[in-house]
Structure 1
Amino acid sequence: MLPLPVDLQWNVDGPTSDLGRVVYEWLDGASAQLLPAARKAMSPLSARVSRSLGAPGSTFGVLAVTRGGVDVPPKTRERTCSDTGFAWLKKELVCLPDMVTLQIGTFDERGHRARRHLVLSARTHPASPGWVRLALLGSDESLDGSDSSLDVQRAWLDVLHGHASTWDPGFGHISYSYGLGATALEDCLPPGDYPPQQRDPEHTVNDCRRYLRGYSWLTIVPKELVARLGGIDELRATSAFARVEQLASGALWLKATERFEDYRGEAVHGVFDALAPVLRPGLPVPTPRRDDQPPHLLVFEDAASR
């Protein structure tokens, strides 16, 4: 089986000054927590990114800021993941860019950037002003039921929990990745029946405090939707979740099963039943999946019909 992409994502809104801090703390904090040795090794490096080939097997770390406009082609600038690189990033975030990414990986035998060990991102959307969508792109390559698999999942959960507890998320999940930040539910709404406003993260992020964008192994429900679900005690009583926790903001942290690889079948149905009252309306349609495409772990019903 080919490894499949995993999307760790959370959405948060607020003033630009706060969102700049959110983005900085996400890239700096998550990378330092997950790859502390690499960050320490790159700390004293120059901010300038070398255009020459890298030493095979050595580590690279790159911060990239992309800006553009309606009539202006996107332009990306890069710096290393060093102390001076992060100082540059902090200044760049005074005015939020379209996208910021951090990549840490190794050079291949030809000296090109190859295997990515960590990919973090933060994106803003014109149709969702005042919001930022933060993500970590991972892989299910090691999620094989082993102890090391559980360690990877715990690391993902710890990173997301720390940031979601500090801020006030409007949505969050750990799910398979379906490209461009869509949830499985959004990805399965037929374009012929549903406009972009109902299935494109460019738009749906703006509505996530009104409709839950989707549901998965780990789902963060914003505080605004908790009462419509009957509250924390009602959700615990459903037995659909291995862990139900209220975060400092009032949002709920809902983990369906102990392991990501166990989130299948009845576990998916249980989460759908519990969260149906707040899910975005729409009838998802199953589509054939290739081996290199992740499955849609959904109940193919319109939550509004419940």
Structure 2
Amino acid sequence: MQAERWPAVFGFLADDAISSGTRTPLEDVRATFPDDTLPLSDSQVRGYSWVTVTSAGVLQRLGGIEAVRRSGAFASAIELPSGGAVLQATPRLSEYEGGAIRKVFEALAPVLPAEAPWPDDFNRFKLIYEAPRR
């Protein structure tokens, strides 16, 4: 099976990504690039969105799939054969607003960059503009 040979590193589905598709909204506001964030992918996510795909290391740092499910932040949390996970915040993309974004941010706080992202003057991104509590 391909998923076992090529484990997940990171992935996302969102309606607020504006770059060429290589950077996440969080990378955009932090002025970082995949070259900066990919080496950390076993311990940190590159961002968070309606659907976030994690590596096995990130899932382990979050306490495993059952801990993620108990967080209540995700409508769906599916463990991948490689040990990572596909986390879907709400059943529909249109529901991924306000409180749902906050829940995902708080659930993923242990694996987010420690620094708060810079505010987006144009309010383009579905992000929380504060440092995560650990």
Q: TM-score range by the shorter chain?
A: 0.7 to 0.9
Aligned residues of 1:166 and 1:248 also touching (Cα < 8 A): no
Q: TM-score, normalised by structure 1?
A: 0.40
Q: TM-score, normalised by structure 2?
A: 0.87
Secondary structure of the equivalent of 2:109?
Answer: helix
Secondary structure of the equivalent of 1:170?
Answer: coil
Cross-structure match for 2:96 = 263
Structure 1 unpaired stretches of 5+: 1-162, 192-198
RMSD: 2.1
**2:11 pairs with 137, 151, 172, which one?**
172
The CA deviation at 1:264 is: 0.6
Answer yes or no: is 1:302 the counterpart of 2:134. Answer: no
Post-superposition Cα deviations, 1:223-245, rounded to whole Å, max 9, x if no partner, equal 01222211111111111101011
Q: Distance in 2 between matches of 1:165 and 1:218?
A: 21
Give 1:217-296 correspondences, 5 Å limit: 217-289=50-122, 295-296=124-125
The CA deviation at 1:169 is: 1.2
Amino acid across the alignment from 2:89? A
Q: Identify the structure with bigger relative contact order (alpha carbons < 8 Å, sequence gap 6+).
A: 2
The CA deviation at 1:205 is: 1.9
Aligned residues of 1:212 and 1:221 also touching (Cα < 8 A): yes
Higher strand share: 1
Cross-structure match for 1:188 = 29
Q: Give % identity.
A: 37
Structure 2 unpaired stretches of 5+: none
Q: Distance in 2 between matches of 1:252 and 1:210?
A: 13
Larger Rg: 1
Q: Distance in 2 between matches of 1:257 and 1:166?
A: 29
Q: Distance in 1 between matches of 2:111 and 2:126?
A: 18
Post-superposition Cα deviations, 1:150-208, rounded to whole Å, max 9, x if no partner, equal xxxxxxxxxxxxx767731110110232314211111112x5xxxxxxx1123322322
